[in-house]
């Protein structure tokens, strides 16, 4: 039993039923949630005889290329006008593909997202920040369109759901996430191959690189901070490319008992880039001290200069100060 769809969902469904040509736009650096939601929604619109176009300047990431329908993504802007332009997971202008002005492309602009603090200007807003993935909302939208789920639609929306929910492991996963997953799995059947392609299988060079970085893992601040390093020598030694480092943070940030993880990337001689992840302390404040930014639990910064050791010292000290301040403030 699915709950009644929210009014914004029904409004978006009405727009899609009334129009005939639609454009969907993902955020920059397209990910599994926008890609899967776009592909699944486009398949549902096919069933209704509607035209839909999927534009992104980014290529489909390799890990998703097996997904039927992902080849519909085009890097040439199709000719408008469109009855509606649907922005997928674009909480602010800066997240749009470069040079895109949605209002010039279609009669209506739809803001379709699950991010907190979405400030995008649009005609129709369907934003639910408590959702684990846009894919959850896309399932409700397909329901509201009156299109039955089938294997093709379900596979795309399952990709969306599992990638953005961290395979059902993240904070926003709810009972409804699993109820929606049940409906998708009902159509798909055996999901083990999909999960293997998405979460496990990696090029051997990427695994070798991950292994090297894992070996640099150290802890500081009484074991509450873990950090690791990546340098250009490791890329050379393993034959990995910089793109192979995309999953590194998630694969290496696994030290038991830590609250904060820092990855120091020293890939060019003039700067050190630092990725911060947290399960509590506000790493966005630490990133901001160095001119970086992000969110409370995930942020990044860049330090000029070639000295990795100094960069590490400065960032680790700032992390310790932040944690000490938060502890003092909470009275622990």
The contacts of residue 80 (CB under 8 Å, 6+ apart) are 23, 105, 106
Phi-psi region of 135 (alpha: psi -120 to 50; beta: other; left: phi over 0): alpha
Does residue 215 belong to the site contacting its own copies (CB under 8 A)?
Answer: yes
Considering Cα of 240, then 246, then 250, then 252, what sign does the dihedral take?
A: positive
Does residue 252 belong to the site contacting its own copies (CB under 8 A)?
Answer: yes
CB contact at 8 A, 269 and 231 = no
How near is the Cβ of 328 to its own copies at its closest, in Å?
Answer: 24
Does residue 236 belong to the site contacting its own copies (CB under 8 A)?
Answer: no
Where in 270-309 is the site for its own copies (CB under 8 A)?
A: 279
Integer Cα distance of 161 and 12 in angstroms: 20
| Helices 134-144 and 7-18, axial angle in degrees (round to 10) | 60
Does residue 3 belong to the site contacting its own copies (CB under 8 A)?
Answer: no
Unique residue bearing structure tokens 């649907």: 86
How near is the Cβ of 82 to its own copies at its closest, in Å?
Answer: 35
Site string (41-80) toward its own copies, x via CB under 8 A: ----------------------------------------
Of 49, 79, 190, 330, the one binding its own copies (CB under 8 A) is: 190
How near is the Cβ of 42 to its own copies at its closest, in Å?
Answer: 24
Q: What is the DSSP string of 287-299?
A: HHHTT-EE-SSEE
User: For its own copies, which stretch binds (CB under 8 A), given 82-90, 115-123, 164-172, 304-312?
Assistant: 164-172
User: For its own copies, which stretch binds (CB under 8 A), given 107-115, 143-151, 208-216, 323-331?
Assistant: 208-216
Does residue 222 belong to the site contacting its own copies (CB under 8 A)?
Answer: no
Does residue 255 belong to the site contacting its own copies (CB under 8 A)?
Answer: yes
Q: Which residue from 273, 214, 206, 272 is spatially nearest to 241, judged by alpha carbons?
A: 206
Integer Cα distance of 150 and 142 in angstroms: 11
How near is the Cβ of 178 to its own copies at its closest, in Å?
Answer: 4
| Helices 151-164 and 175-188, axial angle in degrees (round to 10) | 140
Does residue 239 belong to the site contacting its own copies (CB under 8 A)?
Answer: no
Question: Which two structure tokens, joined as six digits, stand for 118?
Answer: 């979405």
User: For its own copies, which stretch binds (CB under 8 A), given 72-80, 103-111, 179-187, 301-309?
Assistant: 179-187
- For its own copies, how many residues bind (rule: CB under 8 A)? 50
Unique residue bearing structure tokens 């709810």: 174
List helix spans (H) across 48-172. Answer: 134-144, 151-164
SS3 211: helix
Nearer to its own copies, 100 or 181 (CB): 181
Of 170, 305, 310, 313, the one binding its own copies (CB under 8 A) is: 170
How near is the Cβ of 17 to its own copies at its closest, in Å?
Answer: 28
How near is the Cβ of 259 to its own copies at its closest, in Å?
Answer: 11
Question: Which two structure tokens, joined as six digits, stand for 314?
Answer: 């400065």
User: For its own copies, which stretch binds (CB under 8 A), given 81-89, 161-169, 304-312, 322-330?
Assistant: 161-169
How near is the Cβ of 247 to its own copies at its closest, in Å?
Answer: 10
Q: How many residues does the chain have?
A: 332
Helix (H) or strand (E) holding 237: helix 232-238
Does residue 214 belong to the site contacting its own copies (CB under 8 A)?
Answer: yes
Q: Are strands 260-268 and 293-294 parallel, antiparallel or unpaired?
A: unpaired
Residues that bind its own copies (CB under 8 A): 1, 166-171, 173-179, 181-183, 185-186, 190-192, 195-196, 199-204, 207-208, 210-215, 217-219, 226, 238, 252-257, 279
């Amino acid at each position: 039993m699915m709950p009644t769809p929210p009014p914004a969902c029904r409004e978006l469904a009405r727009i899609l039923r009334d129009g005939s040509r639609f454009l969907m736009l993902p955020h920059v650096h397209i990910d599994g949630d926008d890609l899967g939601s776009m592909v699944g929604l486009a398949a549902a619109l096919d069933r209704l005889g509607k035209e839909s176009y999927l534009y992104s300047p980014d290529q489909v990431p390799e890990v998703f290329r097996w997904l039927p329908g992902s080849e519909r993504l085009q890097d040439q802007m199709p000719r408008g006008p469109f009855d509606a332009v649907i922005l997928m997971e674009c909480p602010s202008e800066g997240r749009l593909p470069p040079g895109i002005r949605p209002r010039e492309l279609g009669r209506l602009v739809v803001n379709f997202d699950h991010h907190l603090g979405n400030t995008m200007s649009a005609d129709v807003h369907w934003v639910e920040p408590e959702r684990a993935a846009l894919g959850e909302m896309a399932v409700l939208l397909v329901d509201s369109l009156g299109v039955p789920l089938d294997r093709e639609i379900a596979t795309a929306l399952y990709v969306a759901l599992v990638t953005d929910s961290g395979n059902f492991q993240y904070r926003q996963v709810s009972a409804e996430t699993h109820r929606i997953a049940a409906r998708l799995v009902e159509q798909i059947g055996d999901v083990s191959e999909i999960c293997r392609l998405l979460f496990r299988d990696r090029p051997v060079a990427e695994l070798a690189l991950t292994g090297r970085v894992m070996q640099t893992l150290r802890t500081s601040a009484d074991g509450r901070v873990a950090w690791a390093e990546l340098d250009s020598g490791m890329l050379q030694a393993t034959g990995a490319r910089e793109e192979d480092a995309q999953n590194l943070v998630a694969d290496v940030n696994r030290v038991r008992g830590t609250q904060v993880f820092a990855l120091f990337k020293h890939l060019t001689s003039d700067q050190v880039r630092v990725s911060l992840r947290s399960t509590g302390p506000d790493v966005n404040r630490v990133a901001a001290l160095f001119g970086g930014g992000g969110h409370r639990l995930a942020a990044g910064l860049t330090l000029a200069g070639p000295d990795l050791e100094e960069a590490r010292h400065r960032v680790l000290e700032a992390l310790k100060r932040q944690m000490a301040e938060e502890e003092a403030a909470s009275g622990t």
